[in-house]
Amino acid sequence: MERKSRQPGQSKAGFTLVESILSLFVVSIMVALLVGLASTRDVNRRAAQRSQAAALADEEINALRRLDFTLLTDQTNCVTPSNCPFKNVLYNAGRWAVVADGTAPSQPNALELALASGFTNTQSGQLQFPAGTYGDATFTVQVKVATDSVSNSNPSLGWAVGMTLRSRDAANGYRLRFAENDAAGVLTDLDTVAAGVQNVYLEKIAGGSATPLGSTNVTLAKGTWYTLEAAITGTSPVSFTIKVDGTTVLTSSDSSSPYASGSTALIGWNDVHALVDDVQDGSGTWNFDGSTELPLAWVRLGLNDLPDSTPTTLNDNGTVEIVPYPQPSSVDLKKVTVTVGWVQKNTTQTYTTTSLIGKSELGL
C-alpha cells in the first residue's frame, strides 16, 4: 500500500492529543480568570456597601449628639424600622436625574423624578435643597407633572408634588403638597376632613403624625408647567405664604411647638413622574443646564442608596434603639444602638455601632 506524504506547507487535519490538552488548559485558565474577576467584583461591592453603611451609622450617631437631650426619646422593640426610625437626619430618595426637556422654562435640561411603580398613598421621592438647614426663606420651583403620572378614581390616591419645610427628619417638620385637580374632573383630595376638594395641603408632622395647617383648591393639570412658591418666616409663630404662578392661594401659621429651622426638600407622592426647573432658595438658582449629571450640591448618601427587598418603602434600611443607661430609671445618659442593613445576593447584611449620649450632648 502506498502511503501519501504531507507536502510542505500543507496543514495537518484535526488536533493532536497535546493540542487538545493545551486548548482545554487555556479554556480553564480563562474560566478561572472570569470567576476570579466576578468574585473580586462581589468582594469590592460588599466592601463598598459596608463602608456606606458605616458612614450612615456614624452620621446618625453624630446627628443624635446634636439633638437636644429632651428629644432623645426612648425607641425599643426595633423589630421594624418604623418602630425605631433614624432621628435628626433627612435623606434623598427616588430616581432623580437631569434630562433633556425642550419644554423646560430654562432649556435644554430639567430635573426629573422618574416614574416608578409600587408607591400607593405614600412618598415616592425626596431631594434636599443644597444649603442643608434653613430658617426664614422663600422657595420657588417650576414643576411639570408628566402625562403618564398616576391618576386614580379614588380622590385620595392621585399624584402630588411639593416640599418639606424646616424638616428635622422624616417624622418631624412641615410638608406642603400640590395635587391633581384639573378641568377634566380628575381630582385628588389631600385634606379629606375639609369640605370639598382640597388639593393644596400644608401640614405639620410631629413624631410621624400629621396635623393640618391649611388647605385650598387650585386647578393643576398634568403636562403644564407651574410656578410653586413657599415662603416661611418667624418662629413664634411660624408663618406660611403659598403661591401658584405668583398668586397667593394659602396663608397659615403654626404657634404650637413650631420648628425654628430645618431641611427643605422637593418631594413626589403616589408614583408621580415630575419635571423640575429653576429651583430657588433665596440664595441661589439651579436650572440644571450645562451638564447631564445631577449637581454635586444636590447629591448625598442616604439609607435608600443601599439595596433591599422593599424598594417602595423609603428609609427602611436603618434603625436606632435608644434606652436609658445604665439603669432603666437613668435620666442623664442614653445608650444608642444604630443598625444599618442591606441585601446582597438575597442575604441580609448588617452594620451595627453603639454609643452613649449624655445631657451634655457629648459622647461619654
The pLDDT score that the predictor gives to residue 364 is 40
140 within a domain of the structure (yes/no): yes
User: What range defines the domain where residue 177 resides?
Assistant: 96-299
Which one of 299, 316, 331 terminates a domain? 299
Rounded CA-CA distance 246/91 in Å is: 30
Task: Give the chain's radius of gyration (CA, Å).
Answer: 28
Q: Are residues 341 and 241 in the same domain?
A: no
Query: Do 157 and 272 contact (CB within 8 A), yes or no?
Result: no
| 269-311 per-position pLDDT tens digit | 988 999 999 999 988 899 999 889 999 999 999 999 999 888 8
37 within a domain of the structure (yes/no): no
40 within a domain of the structure (yes/no): no
Number of domains in the chain: 2
3-class DSSP state of 278: strand
Q: Are residues 319 and 279 in the same domain?
A: no
| 73-130 per-position pLDDT tens digit | 999 999 888 889 999 999 999 999 999 999 999 999 999 999 988 888 889 999 999 9
Residue 226, φ and ψ in degrees, nearest 5 = -130, 150
For residue 227, the number of C-alpha atoms closer than 13 Å in the C-beta half-sphere is: 12
The pLDDT score that the predictor gives to residue 311 is 87
Rounded CA-CA distance 168/88 in Å is: 5
Query: Looking at this protein, which amino acid is placed at residue 72?
Result: L
Give me the count of residues in the chain.
364
Task: State the alpha helices, DSSP H only, in the chain.
Answer: 17-66
Rounded CA-CA distance 163/267 in Å is: 5
pLDDT beneath 70, residues of the chain: 1-15, 35, 37-39, 361-364
The pLDDT score that the predictor gives to residue 217 is 95
The pLDDT score that the predictor gives to residue 353 is 97
The pLDDT score that the predictor gives to residue 15 is 61
Nearest Cα to Cα of residue 258 among 177, 201, 200, 204: 204
352 within a domain of the structure (yes/no): yes
Mean pLDDT of the chain: 89
Q: Which three cell numbers stand for residue 223?
A: 403636562
Q: Are residues 207 and 286 in the same domain?
A: yes
The pLDDT score that the predictor gives to residue 190 is 93
Query: Do 101 and 107 contact (CB within 8 A), yes or no?
Result: yes
Query: Quick one: what percent of the chain has pLDDT higher than 90?
Result: 68
Burial class (CB in 10 A: 0-12, 13-18, 19+), 349: middle
> How many C-beta atoms lie closer than 10 Å to residue 101's C-beta?
21
Burial class (CB in 10 A: 0-12, 13-18, 19+), 84: buried
Q: What is the CATH number of the domain that holds 114?
A: 2.60.120.560
Rounded CA-CA distance 320/66 in Å is: 15
The pLDDT score that the predictor gives to residue 17 is 74
The side-by-side arrangement of strands in the sheet containing 333-344 is 318-324, 333-344, 347-358
